[in-house]
Structure 1
Amino acid sequence: MPELPEMENYRRMLNQKVAGQTITEVQINREKSINVNPVLFSSTVVNQKIVTVNRRGKHLLFHLDNGQVLLLHLMLGGWMYLGTEEDKPNRTIQVRLSFGHHHLYFIGLRLGYLHLYSEQDVQKELSPLGPEPLDPPFTAQAFLKLLGDRRGKIKSKLLDQEFIAGIGNCYSDEICYHAEIKTKRSIEDIKENERNQLYLSMKHVLLDALKHGGYMENPFFKGDDLTGGYNNLCLVYDREGEPCKRCGGTIVKEMISSRKTFFCPNCQK
């Protein structure tokens, strides 16, 4: 599932490629991927310019010049491709936004969605989300205060979008590995110095993943050599049975709250 680095990577590229362009046509192949009648969706979106694309947690917000917002959540298996009919992926397309001869394809939206909201309604929709971990106001002090006397496993809390927005299964594992903290540690057992390290690790991992285009491998456009660059840099996620690059131990996989979890039992305390 795309997480903060993947969605921020998309946001940056979308603002370079489609911001300021007018949507000339909409194709909806799966009505469940949208939240209003297809005719209303199309009539509201076609001939509108994309003013800018913002991100909130794992969501992208396409702001149109009529004040409406397209809210995207890719969920599990979702991705995007920008190109022509000639170079599009041989995959099922759920929704397509056209900009003349170029199209933005939304692929794998079986669980994800592209919903249409007013500016006011989209803010209500996103209001439960927690703080953005890369925003400057989210300091170490703010993180320590947020963590407070909460209970439960640290991995489960990092996955809680109402706690912190944007972290998912991959980066929760990578953050805990970098901090040398086991993903199943109870929050109440994590000391203050470890909490500070957890904060620093969160910043480091997310920024490093963003720098390398995230871990999702599907390119965003023909010639895209950035997207997916972090996949081979993951140190524990999806690396079961491989040697730990820090201590030489073996990476293991366990289930925590029905989520696949990868860690090194030797050097994560």
Structure 2
Amino acid sequence: MSELPDIDVFSANLNSIFAGKKVVKVKVVNGNKLKDKPQDIITNVQGKTLKSIYRSGKEMRFEFKDGSLLGMHLMLTGDVFVFDKENDHNSTIIEFHFNNGKGLALTDRMKNANVKLKPEDKDAVEALDKRPTGKTQSTIFYFTK
């Protein structure tokens, strides 16, 4: 299972490859467990320019220049792969082809990883945020012998 720091690094690396690029094709290979209808995902993503990829909670978020948002969750066994022109990775759930000739494939041998249109942020403390949020109280522990 990918941990939060992993998702941060994945997001940053993918952002450096795909930010500013246009999605020219979306192919849903296995959409059985997707949160949205495959055609809705294709309609809402294909032809749009990616603004940025970032982490929110346990998801990677794909923000497009028109303000639309796609969430990608790797679950326990999901992976993302960057490919050139053609995807040859097994267990692909969905693939995105960009105008730079590269693509991104979401794979999962257990078929649980997913993408979701219009994901919402949860009202929770951000685990990697070192700033005090005001949402939790500090606890002081006193240890005695």
- How would you bin the TM-score normalised by the shorter chain? 0.7 to 0.9
Contiguous gaps of at least 5 residues in structure 2: none
What are the within-5 Å matches in structure 2 for residues 100-119 of structure 1? 100=99, 101-108=101-108, 110-117=111-118
Q: Does 1:132 align with 2:127?
A: yes
Task: Tell me how far apart the structure 2 counterparts of residues 105 and 90 of structure 1 sit (CA, whole Å).
Answer: 8
The alignment's TM-score, normalised by the length of structure 2, stands at 0.83
The structure 1 segments of at least 4 consecutive aligned residues displaced by more than 3 Å after TM superposition are none
Shift of 1:129: 3.1
Aligned pairs for 1:13-52 (under 5 A) are 13-52=13-52
Alpha-carbon spacing, 1:77–1:136, altered in 2? closer, same or farther (3 Å): same
Residue 104 of structure 1, CA deviation: 0.1
- Find the counterpart in structure 2 of residue 7 from structure 1: 7
Cα gap change, 1:47 to 1:85, in 2 (>3 Å): closer
Q: Which stretches in structure 1 are left out of the alignment for 5+ residues?
A: 150-190, 194-269
Q: What are the equivalent positions in structure 2 for 1:228-239 lying under 5 Å apart?
A: none
Q: How do residues 206-221 of structure 1 correspond to structure 2 at under 5 angstroms?
A: none
Counting aligned pairs with the same residue, the percent is 21
Which of the pair has more CA radius of gyration? 1
What are the within-5 Å matches in structure 2 for residues 190-269 of structure 1?
Answer: 191-192=141-142
Per mean C-alpha deviation after superposition, the further-off stretch among 16-25 and 76-85 is 76-85
SS in 1 for 2:63: strand
- CA–CA separation in structure 1 for the residues paired with 2:29 and 2:89: 15
TM-score (norm 1): 0.47
Relative CO higher for 1 or 2, CA cutoff 8 Å, sep ≥ 6?
2
| Structure 1 residues 234-263: Cα deviation after superposition (integer angstroms, max 9, x where no partner) | xxxxxxxxxxxxxxxxxxxxxxxxxxxxxx
Q: Could you say what the CA RMSD is over the residues aligned between the two structures, in angstroms?
A: 2.6
Structure 1 counterpart of 2:116, which letter? Answer: H
| Contact 1:34–1:116 under 8 Å retained in 2 | no
Task: Indicate conservation of the 8 Å contact 1:33/1:94, yes or no.
Answer: no
Tell me which residue corresponds to 2:95: 96
Report 1:52-63 matches (<5 A): 52-63=52-63
CA distance in 2, matches of 1:129, 1:32: 29
Provide the rounded CA distance (Å) in 1 between the counterparts of 2:70 and 2:121: 13
Count of aligned positions: 141
1:69 equivalent in structure 2: 69
